[in-house]
Structure 1
Amino acid sequence: MGTIQYYTEEGLKKLKDELQELKTKGRQDIAKQIAEARDKGDLSENAEYDAAKDAQGLLELKIAKLEAVVGNARVMDSSKMDASKVGILSTVKIKNVKNGMTVTYTLVSEEEADLKAGKISLASPFGKGLNGKAVGDIAQINAPAGVLEFEILDISY
């Protein structure tokens, strides 16, 4: 059994949609490729057939992994979350202590992380550094450029 991951409703729906797409359209496409390669003659020397079978194996592996993720997924109810500390699915406004720049991030699971959308993984160095902090706390985050300090300005869900 895998570890339980927490998602937003939107994030879980996205995963389920991707899984459905792979199971239907993905499998149909691979079956078509195998049929076309099989029609070309001797299977023992048919590189197209081998490639299509390999692709089928990779697709089935991806489907199995995604099924395991969806099976262990739980949707978080943000109304029951403790807004006094940073945690999964919290939206955090932070200020860089050194240059005064402020940014806002939402902490999500690894699969939902999207920096352009302002969603960072709780498992990332930033996520780990912010997790458990309260408003007014200084989070020290280990980055390639060294240790960065951020002040927690606001936490919401």
Structure 2
Amino acid sequence: MNNAERHADKLIEVYLNWVMSADMAAGWHQPSALQSLIEFRGWLPPPTGNDQADLKMIREVEFIRRPHALLPEARELIGRLPQRHRTCLLIHEHTAGTYDRQGKRWTERRIAEELGMTVRQYRYYRGKGMGALVQMIRNFNAQAA
């Protein structure tokens, strides 16, 4: 994988994080009490005496409010993609290989069916989207050099 492809993957990640971001739904990026209960199998470790809830809350709010440095570029380049290419690319990166609430796996076939297309069409649009994004990054890098 070359630099342009890695950068494209990062832009997709930043874009998806923005779409699914905390300004759309509240959340913390550190483990919650529920996550700690799961991790420690029901037994929370004793407090260390260094608990700083107020400082943590301030840092979390700052973290949530500050957009990623690559977000403008991600929005610009991904926004240039044709709708079908963008949709297939983003949905694949966000959904493929995960499971829905009923425990059913999201496969390429299932995603394609949900989008009303064949697997071949889905792969084509996704590939064209990634190819176009990588090419835009290469063109930008060539102009900057």
TM normalised by structure 1 equals 0.27
Q: In proportion to residue count, which structure has more helix?
A: 2
Which of 1 and 2 has higher RCO (CA within 8 Å, sep 6+)?
Answer: 2
Higher Cα Rg: structure 1 or 2?
A: 1
Q: In proportion to residue count, which structure has more strand?
A: 1
TM normalised by structure 2 equals 0.29
